Structure formats: structure tokens, C-alpha cells
Amino acid sequence: MMIQHDLHSHSLASDGTLSPADLVRAAGDAGVNVLALTDHDTTDGLEEAVRQAGPAGLRLIPGVEISVSWESLTIHILGLNIDPHCEVLQAGLSGLRTFRDWRATEIGRRLERAGIPGAYAGACELSRGRIVSRTHFAQYLVASGHARSVAQVFKRFLVHGKPGYVAGQWARLEDALGWIAAAGGLPVIAHPARYPMTGSKLRRLVGEFRELGGVGMEVVSGCHSRDDINAMAGCARSMGLLASRGSDYHGPENPWVQLGQLAELPVGCRPVWESEDWPVNQRSS
Ligand code: AMP
Ligand code: MN
Ligand code: MN
Ligand code: MN
């Protein structure tokens, strides 16, 4: 039997819309056998997700998606199969959440100056006391009639050069990899085709990542086109990285990324779940 791996997903602990238990149930129902929960800069959803995995009939890989600043860009690095009790990891994530909290107040101030009051309070309410993401600002601006869609809010307000943009001051790449290593996890570059960079810059990132102990990159992602998948498969192969596969599911409201619908890894990729460091009983035959 083919094992269906989905190694990138979000819950209410960050900017997803399902509780960890509901996410795990939905993944199981969609035919996913191995699911990684990888919330942004927090591991708070993992305990609930692990508890639900048995009843849902799937294997839960504890993960995290770490926000990294690299050469003035924001990059996301997944830590797969981490020990969430690792103090080094938790200290690092806690620092990122401190920046996140400050950034949220700053986004709110800037939107207020641009004529949109109440966005900070609105985003905090939508985040339900957990991490505040730009996604929550986008949801609030849609709900309050300032834009038609979350995608439109990002384009008009939350990206570089727009009124609510605040530059990221996230982890350094070497620090993120150090925290993941301390927690016994496998570092994987998330959605590499989505970063605004040339092929040669991407190869520089991948090379640096590898030198620092990085092992994998997502080849199949919910946001990769067929061309992206082929390009990333070629990049992973030539740079000597393992290939990962993850939906980046955030909830049923984003119908373009669903659970259990991902393409297979292209032939010739070496999957991250065949790594020596992958939990042994999860290797597919
Ligand atoms: P943050 O980590 O708070 O800066 O928020 C980043 C998150 O915003 C990503 O993980 C996505 O879930 C979401 N996001 C980023 N860009 C877009 C976009 N153009 N449209 C919709 N969601 C986006
Ligand atoms: Mn997100
Ligand atoms: Mn991401
Ligand atoms: Mn993600």
C-alpha cells in the first residue's frame, strides 16, 4: 500500500482554522497516513494532535515552521519530528513570538495611520489568544469590509511597500537549524518555489542550508505548480537534498489546498521519509 505523507499543515495554534484534533480527523478521513503538524513558531497544538492521531488512524509527526530572515527575505524552515520539550527550541520560538507580538501592534498602528482603525484588536480576537499572524489581520480586514479576500488584503496592505507592512526580524538561518538539531528534528525548506528569488539565489540558499545541516526541501507543496515541482525536484537532486511533500493546509476555507489531494513526488526524488533519521516504522517500502 502507498503511504500518503502530508508533512506540512496548520491548526488554530497558529493561523489554521481547525483545532489540532479536527485537523487530524480531517486528514485521516482524506486518506493521509502520516501527517506533520507544523504551526508557525509554536508547538502548542502538538499535544492535542498526537492524542487524536491513534483514534484517527494516522501517524502524527511533531513539527514546526520557523520564520527565518535571510538576505532581507522571509524564509520558512520546517523542523520535522522535533522533540517539543527541547528547551533550546522553545527558547528560540519564544523569542520569535516576542517579535511577532510587537510586529502585530506595529501592523495595527500602521493600518490605523492608513485609515483602518481597530485592526490590532480584531486580529488578536481572531487569533484567540494564540500567535497573531498576518493571516488574522487579513481575515479581520475582509470581515470589516476593507477587502474582498485574504489574498487581496495581502496584496494591498501587508506586503513590502504597502501601508501595513513591517519588515521581518526573524531567526537567523543558522539559529533555526541549531534549534531543530537540538530538538532532534529534520530541517526542511518550506515551499521553496514561492520565494521571490532567482534560481541562482535559491541554489545559494540551498547550499548554505545544507552546509548548516539542512537535509530536505519541499518538492511537492500545495502552492507549487507542476513546473515548480519539476524545477524543485531538479534542484533537490542536484544539490543533494531529500524531497518532502506537504500541503501547507490551513483549513477548508482555502479550497485550492485540500488534504489528501497532493501530487506524488516525481520519480527520481529521494523522499525525506527514507532518511536514516526518519522514525523507523514510518519508512515506506
Ligand atoms: P506571518 O508569518 O504572520 O507573516 O504570516 C504568514 C502567513 O500568511 C503565511 O504562512 C500564509 O499562511 C499567509 N500568507 C502569506 N502570503 C499570503 C497571500 N498572498 N495570500 C494569502 N495568505 C498569505
Ligand atoms: Mn500560514
Ligand atoms: Mn510557510
Ligand atoms: Mn505553512
SS (H, E, C) 228-272: HHHHHHHHHHHHCCEEEEECCECCCCCCCCCCCCCCCCCCCCCEH
- State yes or no: pLDDT of 285 exceeds 50: no
Probe residue for ligand 1, chosen from 8, 10, 14, 15 as the CB with the greatest number of ligand atoms within 8 Å: 15
Alpha-carbon distances of 103 from 50, 78, 143, 154, 162, rounded to whole Å? 31, 22, 21, 16, 15
How much distance in Å is there from the Cα of 55 to the middle of ligand 3?
Answer: 28
Calculate what percentage of the chain has a pLDDT beyond 90.
Answer: 94
Q: What is the pLDDT of residues 141-181, one digit of tens each?
A: 999 999 999 999 999 999 999 999 999 999 999 999 999 99
State in Å, rounded, how far the first CA of the chain is from the last one: 9
**DSSP label at 192?**
G
Provide mean pLDDT across the span 124-138: 96
How much distance in Å is there from the Cα of 154 to the middle of ligand 3?
Answer: 14
Phi, psi of 170 (to 5 degrees): -95, -165
pLDDT for 255 equals 77
DSSP 134-148: HHHHHHHHHHTTS-S
pLDDT for 280 equals 67
Beta bridge partners of 75: 68
How much distance in Å is there from the Cα of 210 to the middle of ligand 2?
Answer: 24
Probe residue for ligand 1, chosen from 64, 65, 97, 133 as the CB with the greatest number of ligand atoms within 8 Å: 133
CA–CA separation, 188 and 241 (whole Å): 9
How much distance in Å is there from the Cα of 135 to the middle of ligand 2?
Answer: 7
Provide mean pLDDT across the span 54-82: 98
Q: What is the pLDDT of residues 91-108, one digit of tens each?
A: 999 999 999 999 999 999
pLDDT grade, residue 129 (50/70/90)? confident
pLDDT for 281 equals 53
Provide mean pLDDT across the span 36-56: 98
- State yes or no: pLDDT of 282 exceeds 70: no
pLDDT grade, residue 278 (50/70/90)? very high
- The environment of the single-atom ion ligand 4, i.e. residues with CB closer than 5 A, is 65, 248
Whether 198 contacts 208, CB under 8 Å: no
Alpha-carbon distances of 179 from 15, 40, 90, 94, 244, rounded to whole Å? 22, 14, 8, 12, 20
Q: Is the CB of 136 under 6 A from ligand 1?
A: no
Ligand 1 atom, smallest distance to 74 CA: 4
Q: Is the CB of 167 under 6 A from ligand 1?
A: no
pLDDT for 97 equals 98
3-state secondary structure of 191: coil
Q: What is the pLDDT of residues 188-219, one digit of tens each?
A: 999 999 999 999 999 999 999 999 999 999 99
Which residues neighbour 125 within 8 Å (Cβ) at sequence distance 6 or greater?
140
Average pLDDT, the chain: 96
Provide mean pLDDT across the span 273-285: 73
Probe residue for ligand 1, chosen from 93, 132, 154, 195 as the CB with the greatest number of ligand atoms within 8 Å: 154
